[in-house]
A and B are shown apart, each in its own frame.
Chain A
Amino acid sequence: MKTIAKLWVGLGILILLSPLGLLLPEHFKAEEAWGEWGSDKIKEMVGYLPRGLEKLSGVWQPPLPDYGQDQGSSVLGYMLSALLGILIVVTIIFLITKFLSKKDNL
């Protein structure tokens, strides 16, 4: 098998393993990354919700917040988010490079 094919397989394995990134923090009772708290948590930590933060934090409503974890923890949702994200990223890279690449540059 060519290296590139092996690397695609490797990506597939990483997608299957990706829920570890969800389950390990749950298991070790670790919370969100520093500076990525939700509004409730900030209010609790600081005593008030900074006004600019309140306004800006709702500026964009992503279709799949927290990699599909906004409705509660879901291993399958996390894996599917990884798969979907990768499919989109790969498609965009192929489109960009197609747009950018010179035909004689093989």
Chain B
Amino acid sequence: MHIPDGYLGPTTCGFFYLIMLPIWTVASRAVKKTLKARQVPMLAIGAAFSFVIMMFNVPIPGGSTGHAVGGVLVAILLGPWAACIAITVTLVIQALLFGDGGITAIGANCFNMAFVLPFTGYYVYKLIAYNCPANSKRRILAAGIAGYLALNLAALLTGIEFGLQPLLHQSASGQFLYCPYGLNVAVPAMVVEHLLIFGWVEAVVTALVIKYLQQHDPKLLGIKNEV
């Protein structure tokens, strides 16, 4: 899901940087206002978790690979704005240091994975786990569904961003300038592999950690921790 340099044209890259600027600003303000000093290690762990979980490439035998983002878990534990900051830091380091995701595509990649993903996951989780006790089984289910839906929505958006490029940028001779695959190819490719495989990875990872925390430190699932 890490769009590399060269796949998105300048219009798309600029557009998503512009969209992300106010989101990053609000996220910083929200974290400044509500994140407590004792939550800082948790935020660091969340960002680190997201970084390393994205290195676990899951193969489709003979096909492509994909991975979880871990961002829904961070959103559930610390709130979506804090998760936005954590995942943004992760994505920027991945792009700058390791070339995973392009630097021109940081805006788009952050929109998909650091904004849409944690917010979708957070609200789906809230909706399903609504008011049930911290140790309730429903929270595990809610975390799994939230992870699954959020990763798939992020994959859909990535597919749309790829797929718009042939419409936006074409040379006079009819050759495409950036991602050469249109919506009819990019969207199904991204959506199907995430619906079938990678979405489940995010679901299982999120649900298992929530289950573990329920058993070991249920107060981390309390509502007072949110940013």
The residues of A with any CB-CB pair to B shorter than 8 Å are: 3-4, 6-8, 11, 14-15, 17-18, 20-22, 24-25, 27-36, 42, 46, 48, 50-67, 78, 81-82, 84-86, 88-90, 92-94, 96-97, 100-102, 105-106
The residues of B with any CB-CB pair to A shorter than 8 Å are: 1-7, 9, 28, 31-32, 35-38, 40-45, 47-49, 51-53, 55-67, 85-86, 89-90, 93-100, 102-104, 158, 162, 169, 171, 175-181, 186, 189-190, 193, 213, 216-217, 220
User: Measured between C-beta atoms, what is the minimum distance from A12 to chain B in Å?
Assistant: 10
Q: In the complex the two chains form, is A92's CB within 8 Å of B35's CB?
A: no
Q: Which residues of B contact A102 (CB under 8 A)?
A: 32
Among the interface residues A17, A50, A86, which one has the most CB atoms of the partner chain B within 10 A? A50
Q: In the complex the two chains form, is A54's CB within 8 Å of B6's CB?
A: yes
Among the interface residues A55, A81, A93, A94, which one has the most CB atoms of the partner chain B within 10 A? A93
Give Cα A66–Cα B98 distance, bound, in whole angstroms. Answer: 6
User: Measured between C-beta atoms, what is the minimum distance from A64 to chain B in Å?
Assistant: 5
Q: In the complex the two chains form, is B59's CB within 8 Å of A8's CB?
A: no
Q: Which residues of A contact B53 (CB under 8 A)?
A: 14
Give Cα A54–Cα B176 distance, bound, in whole angstroms. Answer: 11
